Amino acid sequence: MGWVSFFANPARFLRLARFLIPLFSLGAIVAFAVGLYLALCASPPDYQQGETVRIMYVHVPAAWLGLGLYVAMAVAAGIGLVARHALADLFCAAAAPVGATLVGLCLATGSLWGKPTWGAWWVWDARLTSVLVLFFLYCGYMVLRGAFEDEAQGAKAGGILLLIGVVNIPIVKFSVEWWNTLHQPASLLRKGGAAIAPEMLHPLLVMALAYALYAGSMILIRMRTVLRARKIALRREES
């Protein structure tokens, strides 16, 4: 737990954020530029879906990051509840809007992809429904957190909701294996290696990196803004 205590110091975190924010931001710009070029221009159309498959390069990384951020928030919530980490709750509050946006983008692009592929904008598929539940969990956390006048109570209630909501993550992940769904099974992390052609896999991974760097920079910026606002408010109270 030494690393947890190390980053509990706001001043130390701000110094780290000052270094990482421009690095992540620049990396996101470069990765998006390269990824979008590879996805839209260099990668081939799918033999079944044609050009429609290019929605994958926006849809799939948004799903990955939306799931990953929720897990990270749940871990941070657990640390905050147990170890009273000074920045754990702040991370959750900063990451929630980013995660909700990514899951919302996943649902929107999935609907656009589903119409030409399945013939419907929406079906109550197990994967779609569980991702919708994930979106509601993000929104519910933000609403619950702001429903209390006492910020500490709101953080505690929101953290408990995050921990309870973790049960939905394996449902999202394994729904295509547990039930008969319209979604195809895992094509990246599977026995025998990835089932995606390299010319499609590489743009997908670059786009996933771009999403991760963007999410990281946005979360750090939001956290830094709140810490600076608190610092200014404290100085005003002291004066």
Domains of the chain in start order, with CATH, are: 12-238 (1.20.120)
Check residue 212 and give its pLDDT.
97
The predicted model gives 29-45 an average pLDDT of: 92
Of 17-26, 112-121, 133-142, 213-222, the one with minimum mean pLDDT is: 112-121
Whether 1 has a pLDDT exceeding 60, the answer reads: no
Check residue 6 and give its pLDDT.
59
Distance CA 233, CA 88 (A): 21
Whether 201 has a pLDDT exceeding 70, the answer reads: yes
Going by pLDDT thresholds of 50, 70 and 90, the confidence category of residue 191 is low
SS3 49: coil
Check residue 229 and give its pLDDT.
82
In terms of pLDDT, which residue wins out, 185 or 28? 28
In terms of pLDDT, which residue wins out, 11 or 221? 221
Check residue 124 and give its pLDDT.
82
Whether 192 has a pLDDT exceeding 60, the answer reads: no
**Angle between helices 151-165 and 88-118 in degrees, nearest 10:** 40
Mean pLDDT of the chain: 86
Can you give the length of the chain in residues? 239
Check residue 127 and give its pLDDT.
84
For residue 39, what is the DSSP state?
A: I
Whether 30 has a pLDDT exceeding 90, the answer reads: yes
- Percent pLDDT > 70 in the chain is 88
Distance CA 215, CA 95 (A): 8
Distance CA 159, CA 140 (A): 11
Q: Sign (positive/negative) of CA torsion 173, 175, 178, 182?
A: negative
Whether 188 has a pLDDT exceeding 70, the answer reads: no
Burial 106-129 (b: 16+ CB within 10 A, else e): bbebbbebbeeeeeeeeeebbbbb
Check residue 224 and give its pLDDT.
92
Distance CA 123, CA 61 (A): 21
Check residue 189 and give its pLDDT.
55
The predicted model gives 153-162 an average pLDDT of: 92
